[in-house]
């Protein structure tokens, strides 16, 4: 029997988890990765029932390219935290957190015939994850990845984004960039619009996805250009 798994990387306070657990979606398992202890505590309280029932697995760790530890810089209350050195202007808060190899996680969690949907919003950590993910023996189970390439918030980060996009395009892997599919006024609307490209994720057929307005896509393009030309100073906060 095919299972549908939703993997939320960068769970923050559970905004995406709440959507994935909703009645409209057919996910058998929802996993969320969040290394910030304060955010973990919020989700433990908010989703205690779902965790107890086994519908949600909360991983108090960062997802990455290898098992071990990483340093988490910044705090989410200020707008974002990152395991990438130099991503944040203010890195005074630095704590050690657990890091889990994405390939090993998929090997242990995904069975033949499963369908996997992945959301990446992890403040620059998406590059390490995507570099490792395409090497996984379970990559064929991944039906859709939505990546918010926060790496372009740093000088030269666009080089990494472009390299990843070329790598995934060459292998015809299902990678969507946030500027193309995250359309809507609220976070919930944007997540639902991305998943509208994957009808198999829904209990009933979804509405057709909306395309991002040209004006907003141009704004993302300018961010990419600025990053490519090293027009950004250290950090973005």
Per-residue pLDDT tens over the stretch 135-169: 999 999 999 999 999 999 888 899 999 999 999 99
For residue 145, list its beta bridge partners: 118, 175
At 1 the pLDDT is 57
Are 198 and 192 within 8 A, CB to CB?
Answer: no
pLDDT tens digits along 3-31? 999 999 999 999 999 999 999 999 999 99
20: left (phi over 0), alpha (psi -120 to 50) or beta: alpha
Q: Which residues contact 200 (CB under 8 A, 6 or more apart)?
A: 4, 26, 115, 143
pLDDT tens digits along 161-176? 999 999 999 999 999 9
Please state, in angstroms and rounded to a whole number, the distance separating the CA atoms of residues 122 and 174. Answer: 19
Q: Which CATH number fits domain 4-228: 2.60.40, 2.30.29, 1.20.1740, 3.40.50?
A: 3.40.50
Residue extents of the structural domains in the chain: 4-228
Q: Which residues contact 199 (CB under 8 A, 6 or more apart)?
A: 205, 206
**Whether pTM exceeds 0.85:** yes
């Amino acid at each position: 029997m095919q299972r549908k798994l939703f993997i939320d990387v960068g769970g923050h306070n559970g905004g995406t988890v709440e959507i994935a657990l909703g009645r409209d979606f057919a996910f058998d398992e929802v996993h969320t990765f969040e290394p910030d202890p304060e955010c973990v505590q919020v989700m433990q309280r908010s989703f205690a029932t779902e965790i107890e029932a086994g519908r949600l697995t909360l991983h108090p760790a960062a997802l990455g390219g290898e098992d071990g530890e990483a340093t988490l810089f910044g705090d989410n209350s200020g707008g974002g935290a990152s395991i990438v050195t130099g991503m944040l202007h203010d890195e005074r808060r630095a704590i050690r957190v657990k890091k889990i190899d994405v390939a090993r996680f998929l090997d242990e969690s995904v069975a033949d015939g499963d369908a996997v949907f992945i959301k990446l919003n992890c403040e620059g950590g998406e590059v390490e994850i995507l570099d490792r993910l395409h090497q996984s023996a379970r990559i064929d189970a991944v039906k859709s990845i939505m990546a918010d390439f926060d790496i372009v918030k740093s000088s030269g980060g666009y080089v990494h984004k472009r390299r990843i996009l070329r790598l995934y395009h060459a292998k015809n892997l299902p990678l969507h960039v946030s500027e193309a599919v995250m359309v809507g006024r609220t976070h919930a609307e944007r997540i639902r619009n991305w998943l509208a490209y994957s009808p198999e994720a829904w209990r009933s057929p979804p509405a057709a996805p909306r395309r991002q307005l040209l004006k907003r896509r141009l704004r993302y393009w300018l961010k990419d250009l600025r990053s490519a030309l090293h027009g950004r100073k250290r950090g973005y906060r």
